[in-house]
Amino acid sequence: MKNKVFIWVLVIILLAIIGGLVYWNMSQRQELNEIVEQMELEKEELQEEYEDLAIQFDGYQNLDIRNDSLQDLLTREQQRVQDLLEELRQTKASNARRIAELKKELATTRAVLKDYVRQIDSLNATNARLTEENQQVRQENQQVRTRNEQLTQANTELTETVSRASMLEITSCTLTTLNKANHKTKMAANIRKLQFDFVIAKNITCKPGMKNVYARVIDPRGNLLGENEAHTFAFESGQIPYTLMQQIEYAGEAYNGTCYCTLDEEEKVESGFYTIDFFCDGDLIGSFPFQIKK
């Protein structure tokens, strides 16, 4: 009787142990399946991220980068992303070590792409600035050509209609820009006075004596500097305003003169192309363009 009881107890214990092992095995299988599903999910997400990165590289390849070295680096990294993506597709989800390495490679490649994007943006900004500067230079050159053509035409017409035998002629004029302390300056913001040094050519047929030389200074917008309703002189059939007047004594010989245009405190000097026209005895005796830079 005691042996039967012992056998039944032993059987029950064995059944309990077997049942526990079966339950533990099933639990382990379930946990393993969950781990495998999680690894599959992580692989799919990583693959999607690689595909998105590949699309970004494709987009930047369509840009006009204009830098062969940067273009080659971008192409090389693009191919590297394609190779890593293909390797990821062939890597089993259970290979956790390689999946982790590919995830690190993705982060590194993103950082590289970010740096390339910064270089591309900087390069494009530089190209845009240079294009704008070149356009501005072309426009300024065109303004000079246009102004010179106008002056040439005006001088030609003047030559055809007015006898120059007894007319004064200013053959050269140079500009010096001064600050409020009468020191030379090239900064437009500091300019308070314009100094013009001019040369009147020798002309023994011109009547000698005191003469009023008028000057009109035109700014880049076409406005007359120092315009004053009280400051006018006779020209052709009317009265026109002038910027400054210089009285000289002319004796028929070459004359070196200097005149100044003092700006008002609130008057700002703009950068660009200016023109000074000289008049005397009702005639235009000289016209000169000059440039003030920023």
Strands (E), the chain: 170-178, 193-200, 209-218, 232-235, 238-241, 244-250, 255-262, 272-280, 283-292
Per the DSSP assignment, residues forming a β-bridge with 277 are: 216, 287
Contact of 88 with 102, CB cutoff 8 Å: yes
pLDDT value of residue 39: 66
Q: What is the pLDDT of residues 1-20, one digit of tens each?
A: 656 666 776 777 777 777 66
Stretch 221-225: mean pLDDT, rounded?
91
Predicted confidence at residue 99, as pLDDT, reads: 72
Nearest to 127 by CA among 70, 53, 55, 187: 70
What the block records as the tokens of 237 is 């059939």
Task: Determine the pLDDT at residue 256.
Answer: 95
Q: Are 243 and 219 in contact (CB under 8 A)?
A: no
Distance CA 5, CA 286 (A): 137
pLDDT-based confidence at residue 205 (cuts at 50, 70, 90): confident
Alpha-carbon distance 292 to 187, whole Å? 8
Domains and CATH numbers, the chain: 2-128 (no CATH), 166-292 (2.60.40.10)
pLDDT tens column, 154-178:
666 655 554 566 789 999 999 999 9
* pLDDT at res. 15: 72
Instruction: Compare 281 and 148 and report the one with higher pLDDT.
Output: 281
pLDDT for res 6: 65
Distance of alpha carbon 10 from its chain centroid, rounded? 91
Closest listed residue to residue 70, CA positions, set 110, 115, 131, 107? 115
Give the list of residues 6+ apart from residue 289 with CB closer than 8 angstroms, or none: 144, 147, 148, 151, 273, 274, 275
Nearest to 287 by CA among 274, 275, 271: 275
Cα atoms found within 13 Å of the Cα of residue 180, Cβ hemisphere only: 8
Mean pLDDT (the chain) is 79
Residue 58 clears pLDDT 90, i.e. is over it: no
In the predicted model, what is the mean pLDDT of residues 170-190? 92
Tokens 């017409």: give the residue. Answer: 157
Burial 231-249 (b: 16+ CB within 10 A, else e): eeeeeeeeeeebbbebebe
pTM, rounded to two decimals: 0.45
- pLDDT, tens digit (0-9, with 9 covering 90-100), for 140-150: 778 878 877 88
Residue 96 clears pLDDT 80, i.e. is over it: no
How many CB atoms are located within 10 Å of the residue 185 CB?
A: 17
pLDDT in tens, 14-41: 777 776 676 666 665 666 555 556 667 7
The pLDDT of residue 108 is above 70: yes
Dist CA 158 CA 156 (whole Å): 5
Q: Is the pLDDT of residue 68 over 70?
A: no
For residue 204, is pLDDT > 80?
yes
Average pLDDT in the 259-275 region? Answer: 87
Express as a percent the part of the chain with pLDDT over 90. Answer: 30
